[in-house]
Structure 1
Amino acid sequence: MLRRASRLLLLAVTLPAMAAPVATAPPSMATLTTLAERQAVPLADLQAAAGAARLNPEILALMQRPWEAKPWYQYRALFVTEQRIQAGVRFWQENHAQLSQAEQTYRVPAALITAILGVETAYGKQMGRHGVLDSLYTLGFYYPERADFFAKEFAQLVLLGQEEGLSLQTLKGSYAGAMGMGQFMPSSYRHYAVDFDGDGKRDLFNNKADAIGSVANYFAEHGWRWQEPVVEPAEATLPVAESLIGKAPEPTLSWQTLFDAGLRLATPPDANTRVRLLALDKADGPSYWVARHNFYVINRYNRSPLYGMAVYQLSQAIQDAYAAQPSPPSQPDLVAGRL
């Protein structure tokens, strides 16, 4: 008991500065009971998982400085690199059959699937070093800003472990609890992961076919529209009002509204098409982009417009580099060229 009290005191000292003090006591029985009822998890299993987890102050510190806080020109340099492009081409070549099958099954471009895996984990090479159980426990019970979300994911992790036969204490992932090659949260793993190679398991850690099929399934279920545009650079012929910049990921403005405000596109959509205006920081000022429905679908994976643009631009660069190979594998008729 004395050793536990000392550890809690140390945690209280080392936790990052926040608006309000962070409690370090373990979750109460009432809290766990309510969570178990809401998520349909056996209370004894939830208690066992909570008892095996530990509060990790590093996770709370990392939540205070997300990569998406960087300006666009710095964020882009992290992901749209020649090394990652060429690694994406190799991944596509090595997994050509599975990517083609995913395109035909889900009508989601191979370049997009590849780019997601490239941005998330460098094609499975960097799946995270943090214990998923500890991350979700820490954020679910000691991070008030988003405690409800992460507590739900903690409960979903318990269910996922039972369904897939996973050892929760050995799982590694991101500091936010995302796992596998595509960095799925537990609820997404349960809902969107597929056994794409038919071996009887949904393995997003070691099975590239399952990772490819699961990312494609995620985008299909969120409404990806085959062959439709994603995002396009815009020219501003008038000063751009701050109120036009889309803060939410949904495309809520009509193209006519942006056109009337002085925005111009090389390939403008119909006047009533719903779009979103993005302002991304270059070193010398903002650049403007008009995003459509498919960009919103990318943002269902991660709400940051910087993330969405990095995925899109990486996908285009991979696609161009893949097509430029001396003898790229033949593609099925369904493949439509650029996203």
Structure 2
Amino acid sequence: MQFSTRIFGALTLLISSQISCVHAATDVDDLKQQFIADQIKNGFSHQEVSDFLNQSTYNQAIIDAITKPWEAKPWHQYYPIFLTEKRLEKGLAFWHENADTIAKAADKYNVDPQIIVAIIGIETFYGSYMGNYRVQDALYTLGFYYSPRATFFRKEYANLMSLIKEEQLDNATLKGSYAGAMGYGQFIPSSYRHYAVDFSGDGRRDLLTNKQDAIGSVANYFHQHGWQRGELVALKLHHSDNKPPKAKVWTKEKLHYQANDILAPNLSLATARDIDISQPAMLIKLEQPSEDEYWLGLKNFYVITRYNRSPLYAMAVYQFSEQLKAEYNAK
């Protein structure tokens, strides 16, 4: 009787698993049919969309990568990945080698030059690591098999079709990050289409091999999202007791606090200075080994999070940009 129960239980589990696989396959098929219909409305033929889907391959490594992002680490483990002497040296060399282009982009788009240099350094180590995943496979895998953000990535997959056609990119060799980001500044397809510029004047928007276009495009991205040149980005706070701050820590929502809503007798500026306390702001918490570290993030900090919504990423970019600025000006 006990043996029969075990067999029955095993069979039930097997049948249930098979049913789940059938449902999953059906769901993916339905999504693909809807994708084809949507892309036909966008001007592609049924054959073009079907071919694009058939040329895409599922890659489990992409699912593994997105479920274990670096941004899930605590700050004290995260920042040493990016704030290194090697990256700083490489950044200063990149700045000197491309000084005229960086200055021109900074002036045209009203963006601080160090933020342009910092972004390219954090994203790809100045073109050294642009990603080894086939972009089409990355977006296909995430768009059809990663339910938490499938809708977003299917839109990027659709944008990739348009981008390849518009910019005449070689899809067979198009590589990028596990999230489908490409080039020196790691633009996803929609960002490439909307914010890339032909800064070199050669008639193409090439973020994959043209440093001038990459520099101008990063500057344009920040300009379009409201960067204010010369303005503060973030200020370190002093937490004087064990009571929690009166404001809630920022969790990627739109700015709804003013600086005055965050500052308090037990949470003040670490270095005294005059600021506009009515300006939009957020409370940032960084996890250190012994105690949490708090910062006041301002509008420019929020703009960095339009590039990557992680506050850890934005803080790494900001602190790296400050290192670059100090060293570049000193030399």
TM > 0.5 fold call: yes
Residues 56 and 274 of structure 1, relative CA distance in 2, 3 Å threshold? same
Q: Which amino acid aligns with 1:284?
A: S
Verify the 8 A CA contact 2:185 2:214 in the aligned structure 1: yes
Among candidates 309, 312, 332, match of residue 318 of structure 2: 312
Residues 111 and 257 of structure 1, relative CA distance in 2, 3 Å threshold? same
Among candidates 222, 232, 237, match of residue 234 of structure 1: 237
Provide the secondary structure at the position in 2 that maps to 1:139: helix
Deviation of 1:274 (Å) = 1.5
Among candidates 161, 165, 181, match of residue 162 of structure 1: 165
Structure 1 counterpart of 2:24:
23
Structure 2 counterpart of 1:129:
132
Root mean square deviation, CA, Å:
1.8
Q: How does 1:95-244 map to 2 (within 5 A)?
A: 95-238=98-241, 239-241=243-245, 244=248
Deviation of 1:38 (Å) = 6.3
Identity %: 43
Q: Which blocks of at least 5 consecutive residues in structure 2 are unaligned?
A: 1-19
**1:69-109: CA deviation from partner (whole Å, max 9, x where unpaired):** 01101110000111101110000000001001001100111
Deviation of 1:262 (Å) = 2.8
Provide the secondary structure at the position in 2 that maps to 1:133: helix
Deviation of 1:268 (Å) = 4.6
Residues 190 and 92 of structure 1, relative CA distance in 2, 3 Å threshold? same
Residues 44 and 269 of structure 1, relative CA distance in 2, 3 Å threshold? farther
Distance 1:249 1:268 in 2: 26
Q: Which amino acid aligns with 2:256?
A: T
**1:133-169: CA deviation from partner (whole Å, max 9, x where unpaired):** 1000111111111111100100100100001111212
Structure 1 counterpart of 2:308:
302
Residues 268 and 73 of structure 1, relative CA distance in 2, 3 Å threshold? farther
Number of aligned positions between the proteins? 306
Are positions 1:253 and 2:257 aligned together? yes
Provide the secondary structure at the position in 1 that maps to 2:282: strand
Distance 2:225 2:40 in 1: 28
Distance 1:301 1:39 in 2: 26
Deviation of 1:240 (Å) = 2.2
TM-score by length of 1: 0.86
**1:8-49: CA deviation from partner (whole Å, max 9, x where unpaired):** xxxxxxxxxxxx979356644532234315655444322211
Are positions 1:77 and 2:83 aligned together? no
Q: Which amino acid aligns with 2:24?
A: A
Distance 1:312 1:43 in 2: 46
Residues 187 and 43 of structure 1, relative CA distance in 2, 3 Å threshold? farther
Q: Which amino acid aligns with 2:129?
A: Q
Comparing 247-256 with 109-118, which one deviates more in the overlay?
Answer: 247-256
TM-score by length of 2: 0.88
Deviation of 1:322 (Å) = 1.0
Distance 2:238 2:163 in 1: 47
Q: Which amino acid aligns with 2:240?
A: T
Distance 2:276 2:181 in 1: 38
Q: Which blocks of at least 5 consecutive residues in structure 1 are unaligned?
A: 1-19, 326-339
Distance 1:316 1:306 in 2: 15
**1:193-235: CA deviation from partner (whole Å, max 9, x where unpaired):** 0000100111111100000000000000001111110001001
Provide the secondary structure at the position in 2 that maps to 1:301: coil
Q: Which amino acid aligns with 2:60?
A: P
Verify the 8 A CA contact 2:127 2:183 in the aligned structure 1: yes
Structure 1 counterpart of 2:12:
none
Distance 1:72 1:139 in 2: 27
